Structure 1
Amino acid sequence: MPTFLKYDYIIAGGGAAGLSLLYHLLQSPLKDKSILLIDKESKNQNDRTWCFWEKSPNIFEDIVYRQWKQVDFHSSNFSKTLNLSPYSYKMIRGIDFYQHVQSLAREHSHVEFLQADIYEIEDQSEGAVVKTSVGEVHTNWVFSSIRDKNEQEQAQNHHYLLQHFKGWVIKTSYPFFNPQKATLMDFRVAQHDDCRFVYVLPTDEHTALIEYTLFSHELLSEEMYEQALIDYLRRFCQLDDYTIEHEEFGVIPMTNMPYPSSAGKFTINIGTAGGVTKPSTGYTFTRIQQDSEGIVKRLRAGRSPHRPHDAWQQRFMVYDSVLLDVMARNRHPASDVFTQLFRNNPPQRVFKFLDEKTNFWEEIKLANSVPKIPFIKGLSSALFK
């Protein structure tokens, strides 16, 4: 059971968002605050992999498992090796991330972990109470990554696609992979009126993570994911002789539904629950770090951790809504949209745009590189629905 009568902060959910926020807090002058992290799982399995691009070392640089300066892009009518510099495409394994944060937390006696189900989070006049399967816990602030179970039903007036993926870490008996180069997107697989592609992320000459990824409305059967991976390895890699070392599966919402940034005066939503996931790509890890840094910065300054509103930055939600509309309504093959983006723009501009750091003229150049009519229809739908 928790030892403090009331915590300075409770983090509800121990995934990427919750553990990242904990790590940022412990790297700041707030490291002596009493903190309780609650999750129903112990987080001791290598259950996922996070990949992201960035220019500079990040706060988790010590546990970056592999990174690549060159990536291949493939579609049915275009293939190119992209030099990403000054960006790197990086991979962090779930187990390394969990152990890294937990190890730091063990150095602080005022940080506690509680393995329990969370039933309810309730605002009070001064702070909040978290009701769990082992009792109630009080706090000044709650940071929650718990998503509403009915969010898909609540998105009826918005686009709601799923990014779902099945990944295998495979090992070959002979040197096969080039660990200096990854495949960022390979659209040569059958599309079936969806957006489907494969990542190939080599970690050494014998080992790589092969991930079959879809943007669609519905999940596939287990057998369909596995057959797609087998077919890809056989057709495009000419590989039949390999062993599967590890498997992972994940589902990420891709929606322009506005997630509430808070669930009360003293409850801040974080991660996907707080709208941090990029709606048009599903990338979340880097955005979580930026969000955590902002929360800690505001707390350090004695301000409310609630996120300030930036009206100009909201234009990127419009761009996301347009691309989601094009994909959800099948206005144009998504594989061709991404092909035109990488054919007609340097990858640095695409990454900068996806990081929401481009200026208006760079955004005009990107808009001019994709099919006009489908995106005009998508823009009309986004603005006048």
Structure 2
Amino acid sequence: MVGVNTSAPLDVDLALVGGGGAASLVLAALDRHGVRGPRIAVVDPVHRRGQDRTWAFWDHPGNELDPLLAASWHRVEVATPAGRRVLDLAPLRYAMLRSGPVYDRAAEAERRLGVRRIVAPVEALHDDGRRVTVRVGGDGPTVRASWVLDSRPRPPRRPGRTNWLQHFRGWWLESDAPVFDPTRAVLMDFRTPQPARGVSFGYVLPVSDRYALVEYTEFGPALLTDAGYDAALAGYRDLLGLDAAGLRVREVENGVIPMTDGPFEARPSPRVVRLGTAGGATRPSTGFTFSAMRRQADQVAAALAAGRPPVPAPAYPRRHRWMDAVALRALDGGGVGGPEFFDRLFARNPAERVLRFLDGATTPAEEVALMSSTRLRPMVAAAAGDAAARLRDRLHRGGRAASWTVPPPVLGDRADG
């Protein structure tokens, strides 16, 4: 890492705006793919270190993330008031990754890649079609980049027809006695009291028999108060039969993730590409984000290694985004209950198929099987309502917005734009 504190312009081939999980995965992927030569800068007001978030995802074992994982499980549990179901995920696993090792690996990649890091906010981006001018606050230099990867949080281009939030609070609990089962995680526990509008569930990610992340999550249109989250977590702890006297809260995690069918603009201008949630990586129906961020990072690195523009593919197929919109509409309208919806998916399909669907990796034939698992009438009604709303939106906007074409790459072009 090379520090920069000068008013002279800094010319680079690639600027990463935002230095969180998405940018860290890009840096690690560039290093792993052996990308050398392009001049790279990271611009972010905070230099991320340590444990500030936890990601949970599923993948195949035996990859570059193995040494970074806090824990992984080949069996998970889904619980409803009607009973518990233990799912065998083979050949997949459910994995937990904390941010500290991700940031550490990104820092190692920065050193090997000779990255310039500017610890300052970005005030504006100006894309003239050939280069992007990154205006930096404070004493930071103006950055001129051939390409910008922007992972800063951004709202959708316009509000969706359904606009929910996934919001949660988790306690890292340490116990005096063995109380957790480290051989399996609780993926979704719908025995929690359900809100009047939305869905709630708890989950448990055990690192050992004495240490686990216990979390309460809601899908819905409104947030809780701090006291509300703590009360819900305490209630879930008691539901699990955990004795509060023998537990200590070592860390607290909070988060809010958009669940909306509003369109995220992955390409706001010719040479600015958005990653992470702002680039459509969050799955609207579940809030899962990490796997798509990881795919984006790998695609960016592979493209640069091959001399192509660093533009990843859409995070999810268009038909999956449509299915998510229909599911959100059905849940929001009350035609389908959240616990019933997810319980039927896992009860009537192999767990591996459901998880691949949530990652955007299923075939149309598999998706027909998944859709047939849900109650037909409310889903058909939601699909019809979604189609009518899309038509109204199209008429109101006066047609489809123009899309960007990919300009020729100029990585390595050192001319002053």
Give TM class, smaller chain: over 0.9
In structure 2, the partner of 1:364 is 368
Q: 1:290 to 1:106 in 2, by over 3 A?
A: same
State the Cα RMSD in Å: 1.9
Shift of residue 209 of structure 1? 0.2
The answer to which of 321-330 and 1-10 deviates more is 1-10
In structure 1, the partner of 2:218 is 214
Q: Could you tell me which runs of 5 or more consecutive residues in structure 1 were left unpaired when the two chains were aligned.
A: none
Partner amino acid, structure 2, of 1:50: W
1:215 aligned counterpart, secondary structure:
strand
Is residue 126 of structure 1 aligned with residue 130 of structure 2?
A: yes
Is residue 136 of structure 1 aligned with residue 142 of structure 2?
A: yes
Shift of residue 210 of structure 1? 0.3
Is residue 334 of structure 1 aligned with residue 338 of structure 2?
A: yes
Distance in 2 (CA, whole Å) between partners of 1:245 and 1:87 is 30
Q: 1:221 to 1:129 in 2, by over 3 A?
A: same
Distance in 1 (CA, whole Å) between partners of 2:103 and 2:314 is 31
In structure 2, the partner of 1:69 is 74
In structure 1, the partner of 2:295 is 290
Is residue 164 of structure 1 aligned with residue 167 of structure 2?
A: yes
Distance in 2 (CA, whole Å) between partners of 1:209 and 1:308 is 33
2:287 aligned counterpart, secondary structure:
coil
Query: Alpha-carbon deviations, 1:325-366, whole Å to 9, x = none?
Result: 112222221111011111122211111211222222221221
Question: In the TM superposition, what are the counterparts of 1:54-93 in structure 2 within 5 Å?
Answer: 54-93=59-98
Partner amino acid, structure 2, of 1:258: P
* Count of residues paired in the alignment: 380
In structure 1, the partner of 2:411 is none
Within the candidate set 250, 255, 263, 1:250 is matched to 255
Contact 1:2 1:112 in 2 (8 A): no
1:19 aligned counterpart, secondary structure:
helix
Partner amino acid, structure 2, of 1:11: L
In structure 2, the partner of 1:17 is 22
Partner amino acid, structure 2, of 1:319: M
The answer to which of 28-37 and 217-226 deviates more is 28-37
In structure 2, the partner of 1:226 is 230
Contact 1:160 1:253 in 2 (8 A): yes
2:36 aligned counterpart, secondary structure:
helix
Partner amino acid, structure 2, of 1:289: R
In structure 2, the partner of 1:37 is 42
Is residue 200 of structure 1 aligned with residue 200 of structure 2?
A: no
1:356 aligned counterpart, secondary structure:
coil
Contact 2:5 2:141 in 1 (8 A): no
Q: Could you tell me which runs of 5 or more consecutive residues in structure 2 were left unpaired when the two chains were aligned.
A: 390-417
In structure 2, the partner of 1:343 is 347
In structure 2, the partner of 1:105 is 110
Distance in 2 (CA, whole Å) between partners of 1:215 and 1:371 is 20
Q: 1:377 to 1:58 in 2, by over 3 A?
A: farther
Contact 1:78 1:339 in 2 (8 A): no
2:244 aligned counterpart, secondary structure:
coil
Shift of residue 124 of structure 1? 2.5
Q: 1:302 to 1:219 in 2, by over 3 A?
A: same
1:31 aligned counterpart, secondary structure:
coil
Shift of residue 52 of structure 1? 0.2
Query: Alpha-carbon deviations, 1:302-341, whole Å to 9, x = none?
Result: 333334579x931111111111111222222111101111
Identity of aligned residues (%): 30
Distance in 2 (CA, whole Å) between partners of 1:181 and 1:281 is 20
Distance in 1 (CA, whole Å) between partners of 2:385 and 2:305 is 42
Q: 1:49 to 1:13 in 2, by over 3 A?
A: same
Contact 1:261 1:307 in 2 (8 A): no
1:263 aligned counterpart, secondary structure:
coil
Distance in 2 (CA, whole Å) between partners of 1:186 and 1:203 is 18
The answer to which of 234-243 and 44-53 deviates more is 234-243
Contact 1:20 1:289 in 2 (8 A): yes
Shift of residue 104 of structure 1? 2.9
TM-score normalised to structure 1 length: 0.94
Distance in 1 (CA, whole Å) between partners of 2:352 and 2:22 is 26
Partner amino acid, structure 2, of 1:354: L
Distance in 2 (CA, whole Å) between partners of 1:139 and 1:382 is 40
Contact 1:196 1:212 in 2 (8 A): yes
Shift of residue 100 of structure 1? 2.0
The answer to which of 74-83 and 232-241 deviates more is 232-241
Shift of residue 125 of structure 1? 4.6
In structure 2, the partner of 1:176 is 179
Contact 2:19 2:43 in 1 (8 A): yes
